[in-house]
């Protein structure tokens, strides 16, 4: 089975969650796809305080709260779709905290996110309210963790962008273009995840032959 994890960065139950649900529903139309949603809503998520305990000890963030339940879900997922409302031309404060706190994944689980699929969805109350900037912030998180950033299918360049007019789920429904983008994004992520997983499994098997090759020596960049 292919696991697609949806992460909802909205503290409310409204447009962002609905848009994410639509994308995942579309993804499930392809075979072998299973989906799950994890939301920041109602969660206790502290801020990164840059104590660097994670880097020194090669462990996930030592702050104990609700973020721990997300860590393993991310590692086990074959693809991740992150959705956020626009907060002052950026992702929500809760989602930014999640991104900051997940910093040590590449040290604790080296290579586990490499070449997996990541995609973004943003919702905003105004037509040009910063949706594409939010998507770029999300895609940057994927790129930092060596994932493959997926923009979407046909005209959906850096993810799904929805104009809600502050009408919550009804606003998503009324934005025909945005809703179409979100659905095609979900379908495209499922297709890309299927191709990436089966191709990745073959590559990892082939890579065993090169385990001692200098080309795969540890990079000093991973220690920063």
Say if residues 80 and 87 touch (Cβ distance below 8 Å).
no
Per-residue confidence (pLDDT) for residue 170, from 0 to 100: 97
Which domains does the chain possess? 2-223 (3.40.50.360)
Say if residues 172 and 22 touch (Cβ distance below 8 Å).
yes
pLDDT tens column, 152-204: 877 778 999 999 999 999 999 999 999 999 999 999 999 999 988 888 777 67
Q: How many Cβ atoms are within 10 Å of 145's Cβ, its own excluded? A: 20
pLDDT tens column, 57-105: 999 999 999 999 999 999 999 999 999 999 999 999 999 999 999 999 9
Say if residues 79 and 116 touch (Cβ distance below 8 Å).
yes
pLDDT tens column, 198-223: 887 776 777 677 666 554 455 444 44
Say if residues 76 and 82 touch (Cβ distance below 8 Å).
no
Say if residues 119 and 135 touch (Cβ distance below 8 Å).
no
pLDDT tens column, 101-149: 999 998 999 989 999 999 999 999 999 999 999 999 999 999 999 999 9
Per-residue confidence (pLDDT) for residue 63, from 0 to 100: 95
- In eight-state DSSP terms, residue 186 is H
Per-residue confidence (pLDDT) for residue 209, from 0 to 100: 72
Closest CA to 125 of 191, 172, 81: 172
Calpha distance 128→72 (Å, rounded): 35
Average pLDDT (6-29) is 97
End-to-end CA distance of the chain: 35
Calpha distance 168→104 (Å, rounded): 34
Per-residue confidence (pLDDT) for residue 211, from 0 to 100: 65
């Amino acid at each position: 089975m292919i696991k697609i994890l949806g992460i909802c960065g909205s503290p409310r139950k409204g447009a962002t969650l609905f848009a994410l649900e639509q994308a995942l529903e579309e993804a499930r139309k392809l075979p072998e796809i299973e989906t799950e949603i994890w939301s920041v809503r109602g969660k206790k998520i502290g801020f990164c305080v840059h104590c660097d305990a994670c880097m020194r000890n090669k462990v996930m963030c030592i702050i104990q709260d609700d973020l721990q339940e997300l860590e393993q879900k991310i590692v086990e997922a074959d693809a991740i779709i992150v959705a956020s409302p626009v907060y002052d031309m950026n992702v929500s404060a809760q989602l930014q905290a999640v991104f900051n706190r997940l910093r040590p994944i590449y040290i604790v689980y080296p290579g586990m996110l490499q070449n997996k699929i990541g995609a973004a969805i943003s919702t905003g109350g105004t037509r040009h309210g910063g949706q594409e900037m939010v998507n770029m912030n999300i895609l940057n998180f994927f790129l930092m963790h060596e994932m493959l950033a997926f923009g979407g299918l046909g005209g959906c360049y850096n993810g799904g962008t929805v104009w809600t007019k502050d009408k919550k789920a009804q606003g998503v429904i009324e934005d025909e273009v945005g809703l179409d983008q979100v659905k095609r994004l979900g379908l495209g992520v499922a297709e890309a995840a299927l191709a990436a997983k089966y191709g990745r499994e073959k590559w990892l098997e082939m890579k065993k032959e090169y385990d001692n090759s200098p080309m795969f020596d540890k990079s000093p960049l991973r220690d920063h």
